[in-house]
Amino acid sequence: MARKIQTNAADEAEINTAKTRERLRAEREANDLRAILATEQGRRFYWNLLCYCRIFTSSMTGNSQTFFHEGMRQVGLKLLADLNDHAPEAYFLMLKESKEDDLA
């Protein structure tokens, strides 16, 4: 989700301001993800996204559909990387909750 802020490379104050804004944006996004994963509903939604993105299945189909599946998988891997970076404990909780839902 990184949005690069264009800066004047010759202006040190502008560069420092851009770095601060980028750091604050990254912190806000990490906190947003933690807030989503703090609720059962948020974890269920996130887990469903990971499954929809096919990160747990092969992308290979033997035809051009493979490229589409691999694109979805790439998005899912980014979501998984964000999860591992900011709330790794949520992964196992989501897995446990998913298994409990399957049994219900």
Mean pLDDT of 70-84: 96
pLDDT at position 3, please?
Answer: 59
pLDDT at 6 over 70: no
Structural domain spans, the chain: 12-103
Q: How many CB atoms lie within 10 A of CB 32?
A: 12
- 7 vs 75, higher pLDDT: 75
Mean pLDDT of 46-64: 93
